[in-house]
Amino acid sequence: MDYTTDYPRLAERLAARGIDVDAVKEKLKAQHIETPSWGYGNSGTRFQVFAWPGAARNIHEKLADAGYIHRLTGVAPTVAIHIPWDKVDDYQALSDYARECGVAIGAVNPNLFQEQDYKLGSITHPNPAVREEALAHLIECCEIMEKTGSKLLSLWFADGTNYAGQDDIRERKHRMEEALKETYKHLPDGARMLIEYKFFEPAFYHTDLADWGMAYATALKCGERAQVLVDTGHHAQGTNIAHIVAFLLDEGRLGGFHFNARKYADDDLIVGSTNPLELFEIFHELVSAGDRAKDVAYMIDQCFNIESKLEGMLQSVINCQTAYAKALIVDRKTLRERQQEGDVMGAHRTLLEAFETDVRPLLAQVRTEMGVPADPFEYLRSDSYAKRIAEERGVGLVGAGGFQ
């Protein structure tokens, strides 16, 4: 469907509400959503991996696919890599190949949860030798950042315990802080360390970094370039993520996002697929924060198990674009007035008016002006790229993180 034909009428309605439509379009054109290398290969679930025809089998194929998604959207110019899944001998050559694909290397993600040595933890392990092994890997990833030009070290740890008394919780906290302070020293100039958290899984008694408060407190001890990474799926049911986002923004410690969605325990559903209002609320807080949000990194962290890798990734980017577009058209003047008047429902309805607006004509117009398909999803389905890579690559099992 050609939504661009509906754009003039939408633009007129938005202008009548005091929205600067041209400014909104410029911000949408400047949006930056980083896609993850591991989302282009076969990986994901703890139960079974269902291979997809044409799924990327190595980092070069992942970069090629990421370049294709960027060509369809114009807003996905970087790719997060995971080490050692994406390890190569020559990182300069890898960076050069990424540029040939139209993208650049983004965040570097260490892997501290798959080795047998990490059964009892990585940087919080009771054995000093294992902690040294884990720290060496973190430093290695800082060196990879230097070689690729990456400015983000994205950290998530599976460390924790399964039983009361298994280990000293406070001592594990000290080990965590010591390792991250040392890692911080090795960050390249101008780079940031983003500390992620998860309230449970795979540890069932306690997780060493279980929530945003623990990540925040740890970041404060490391330095100004240590910030919190909010994974939208890493919270207990009912958690108000927009509140967390607003708090961290105000403290200057919101480093970035891993976007995904969850229904129950895992977090690999497409962002915005289970609760689009929640995603909109998050972007509303980001837009409201103005310059405080200018350095926030927006990264997708998903593995697509039963859906097409390309379609899943593309829909994730589209959902982020949609939520951002709706947040940009909130009538903030009216919202503020009604908040100050104590008009509860009036303020709420002002926010809902933006959320319930169909922004597809606006996004189609923006894409047309950017020289990308107005409807990238339909373009992907009609294009030969997916069919071609399926024929060339076939159906392989392991592609992203070695999960089987």
Q: How far is the C-alpha of 21 from the C-alpha of 75, rounded, in Å?
A: 19
Whole-number pLDDT of residue 44: 66
Instruction: Enumerate residues 6+ apart whose C-beta is below 8 A from 16.
Output: none
184-221 residues labelled b (16+ CB within 10 A) or e (exposed): bebbbeebbbbbbbbeeeebeebbbbbbbebbbebbee
Whole-number pLDDT of residue 398: 56
Q: How far is the C-alpha of 168 from the C-alpha of 69, rounded, in Å?
A: 46
Peptide bond into 361 cis (omega under 30): no
Domains of the chain: which residue ranges? 1-19+329-382, 30-320
pLDDT tens-digit series, residues 303-358? 998 999 999 999 999 999 999 999 999 999 999 999 999 999 999 999 999 999 99
Q: Could you state, in chain order, the average pLDDT of each consecutive group of 10 residues for the chain (404 residues)?
A: 91 96 98 98 80 96 98 98 98 98 98 96 98 98 98 98 98 98 98 96 95 98 98 95 98 98 88 97 98 97 94 98 98 98 98 98 98 98 98 76 43
Q: How far is the C-alpha of 147 from the C-alpha of 145, rounded, in Å?
A: 5
Beta-ladder partners of 297: 256
Half-sphere exposure of 337 (CA within 13 A, CB side): 6
Class of domain 30-320: alpha beta
Handedness of CA 182, 400, 231, 367 (dihedral sign): positive
- Strand ranges (DSSP E) for 206-354? 206-207, 226-231, 254-259, 297-300
Beta-ladder partners of 129: none
Whole-number pLDDT of residue 388: 97
CB 24 within 8 A of CB 329: yes
Whole-number pLDDT of residue 47: 73
Whole-number pLDDT of residue 374: 98
